[in-house]
């Protein structure tokens, strides 16, 4: 790629742009040279001292995609001003990729031109300077408002830790929105599930907002210096945590204990737990465990305890089991076991273990108990659901298969008697 440089003011000639405002580059030196020659002829004709030369482009030609990606994936924190219509409608939107400086959150950073963009260089300035330079027409009232808002949002916020149940609940109720940030009345229980975090194993780290509330929070495991997903204005909290030696590692939460609180015999209170969504019950506490049977992913603050399938002995939620008459008692089987090792009786319509499958003369599946209560066909001795009367004896019954043959036999016998 080649571009044309004006030697007089040492800038690139970039009046040739495509619809996306990208500078059109010349693909070969011949093309660029041809273009530079034309510019030089015009300059000479006009009596200008300006001379144009061609220069090979270096750096990343796709830098705009790179910057756009950083804006959208959270690498860059977008300043309040960059969300205003003044910025959005300006020619700088799509060039500057204005963001909060990663070194100094009180400053903004931007890409002044294509050359800087290609070499991944940004300029850092105070917002005041940025506004005065690029938005000199912004009314003073608006300008001052933007500066005050920027300051409010980005000034240094110290790190706090909530450790007691009251403190933790306060942080959740006064901070960023999430499924656990709702008031206690909205849960199926009379205290807030996040209170269960108040053990020695866990705490909640947070930064305060200018209004005294919470601007960002995350669950931490202090002993292992690990934090979980951050909710809210994260660059500030993430930075503070980093300074305090914390890093994000959900795996380090495994084994952390929560308080155990029963709701009913078969239900416990549980928060939606980000880093590890499973737990097991250990005597008097709830221990985070990836392999645990208890799912900590409900938003209503209560989870049902699993029961053990009486057939395959794996834990399963009570709602996913069915009672089944087996081994002389009523057992609770999981759905898989019902499908694989049971059948539905055609008479009583109950699920019954495979071992108790019987077939009637008509080929229907019935359980042991129903098979016993059905009449037996006087001819083939198999239980039947048809119960045709046996013409030979009032007490006897025939199945539908034997019925025809018995009648035919009787008719034959009668015919023989007549012929005799």
Closer to Zn ion at the Cβ: 230 or 361?
361
Residues touching Zn ion: how many (CB under 5 A)? 16
- Strands 285-288 and 257-259 come out as antiparallel
Closer to Zn ion at the Cβ: 34 or 313?
313
Bridge partners, 330 (sequence order): 325
Taking CB under 5 A as the rule, does residue 337 contact Zn ion? yes
Taking CB under 5 A as the rule, does residue 317 contact Zn ion? no
Residue with tokens 């359980």, as numbered in its chain: 367
Minimum distance from residue 290 beta carbon to Zn ion (Å): 22
CA–CA distance, 273 with 279 (Å, rounded to integer): 10
Stretch that binds Zn ion, among 116-124, 206-214, 241-249, 398-406 (CB under 5 A): 398-406
Minimum distance from residue 408 beta carbon to Zn ion (Å): 14
- The helix (run of H) or strand (run of E) holding residue 2 is strand 2-6
**Interface with Zn ion (CB under 5 A), residue from 220, 230, 279, 309:** 309
Closer to Zn ion at the Cβ: 273 or 370?
370
CA–CA distance, 213 with 207 (Å, rounded to integer): 9
Minimum distance from residue 388 beta carbon to Zn ion (Å): 9
Closer to Zn ion at the Cβ: 4 or 309?
309
The closest of 88, 248, 75, 234 to 154, measured between CA atoms, is: 234
Helix (H, G, I), strand (E, B) or coil at 9: coil
**Interface with Zn ion (CB under 5 A), residue from 109, 361, 386, 406:** 361
CA–CA distance, 209 with 17 (Å, rounded to integer): 44
- Say if CB 27 and CB 36 are below 8 A apart: no
Closer to Zn ion at the Cβ: 303 or 361?
361
Closer to Zn ion at the Cβ: 82 or 402?
402
CA–CA distance, 2 with 416 (Å, rounded to integer): 115
- Say if CB 227 and CB 244 are below 8 A apart: no
Taking CB under 5 A as the rule, does residue 348 contact Zn ion? yes
Stretch that binds Zn ion, among 69-77, 85-93, 145-153, 375-383 (CB under 5 A): 375-383
CA distances from 387 to 165, 383, 409 (A): 71, 9, 19
Taking CB under 5 A as the rule, does residue 338 contact Zn ion? no
225 — alpha (psi -120 to 50), left (phi > 0) or beta? Answer: left
Taking CB under 5 A as the rule, does residue 367 contact Zn ion? yes
In sequence order, which ranges of 19-162 are alpha helices (DSSP H)? Answer: 29-45, 63-72, 85-88, 114-118, 127-134, 140-154
**Interface with Zn ion (CB under 5 A), residue from 252, 256, 386, 402:** 402
Residue with tokens 């380090």, as numbered in its chain: 252
Stretch that binds Zn ion, among 3-11, 27-35, 271-279, 370-378 (CB under 5 A): 370-378
Taking CB under 5 A as the rule, does residue 342 contact Zn ion? no
Stretch that binds Zn ion, among 22-30, 33-41, 108-116, 345-353 (CB under 5 A): 345-353
Q: 127-134 vs 140-154: helix axis angle to the nearest 10?
A: 150
Minimum distance from residue 93 beta carbon to Zn ion (Å): 59
Q: Which residues sit at the interface with Zn ion, rule CB under 5 A?
A: 309, 311-312, 334, 337, 345, 347-348, 361, 367, 370, 377, 379-380, 399, 402
């Amino acid at each position: 790629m080649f571009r044309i440089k004006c030697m007089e003011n040492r800038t690139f000639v970039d009046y040739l742009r495509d619809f996306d405002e990208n500078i059109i580059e010349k693909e070969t030196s011949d093309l660029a040279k041809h273009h530079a020659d034309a510019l030089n002829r015009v300059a000479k004709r006009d009596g200008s001292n300006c001379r144009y030369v061609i220069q090979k482009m270096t750096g990343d030609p796709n830098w705009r995609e790179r910057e756009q990606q950083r804006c959208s994936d959270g690498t860059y924190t977008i300043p309040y001003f960059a969300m205003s219509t003044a910025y959005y409608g300006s020619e700088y939107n799509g060039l500057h990729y204005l963001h909060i400086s990663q070194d100094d959150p009180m400053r903004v950073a931007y890409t002044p031109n294509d050359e800087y963009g290609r070499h991944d260089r940004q300029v850092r300035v105070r917002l005041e300077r940025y506004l005065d330079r690029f938005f000199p027409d912004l009314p003073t009232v608006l300008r001052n408002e933007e500066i005050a808002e920027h300051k409010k949002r980005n000034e240094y916020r110290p790190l706090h830790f909530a450790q007691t149940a009251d403190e933790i609940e306060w942080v959740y109720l006064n901070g960023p929105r999430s499924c656990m940030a709702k008031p206690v009345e909205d849960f199926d229980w009379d205290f807030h599930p996040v209170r269960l975090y108040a053990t020695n194993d866990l705490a909640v780290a947070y930064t305060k907002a200018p209004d005294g509330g919470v601007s960002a929070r995350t669950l931490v495991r202090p002993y292992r210096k690990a934090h979980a997903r951050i909710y809210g204005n994260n660059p500030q909290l993430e930075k503070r945590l980093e300074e305090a030696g914390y890093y994000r590692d959900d795996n380090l939460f495994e084994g952390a204990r929560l308080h155990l609180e029963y709701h009913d015999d078969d239900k416990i209170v549980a928060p939606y737990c980000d880093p590890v969504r499973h737990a097991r019950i250990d005597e008097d506490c709830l221990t985070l465990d990836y392999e645990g049977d208890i799912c900590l992913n409900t938003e209503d603050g209560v989870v049902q305890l699993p029961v053990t399938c009486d057939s395959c002995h794996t834990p399963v939620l009570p709602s996913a089991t069915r009672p089944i008459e087996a081994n002389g008692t009523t057992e609770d089987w999981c759905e898989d076991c019902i499908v694989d090792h049971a059948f539905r009786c055609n008479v009583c319509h109950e699920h019954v273990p495979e071992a108790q499958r019987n077939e009637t003369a008509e080929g229907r599946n019935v359980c042991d108990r129903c098979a016993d209560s059905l009449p037996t066909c006087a001819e083939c001795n198999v239980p039947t659901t048809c119960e045709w009367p046996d013409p030979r004896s009032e007490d006897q019954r025939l199945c539908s298969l034997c019925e025809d043959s018995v009648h035919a036999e009787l008719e034959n016998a009668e015919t023989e008697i007549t012929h005799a």
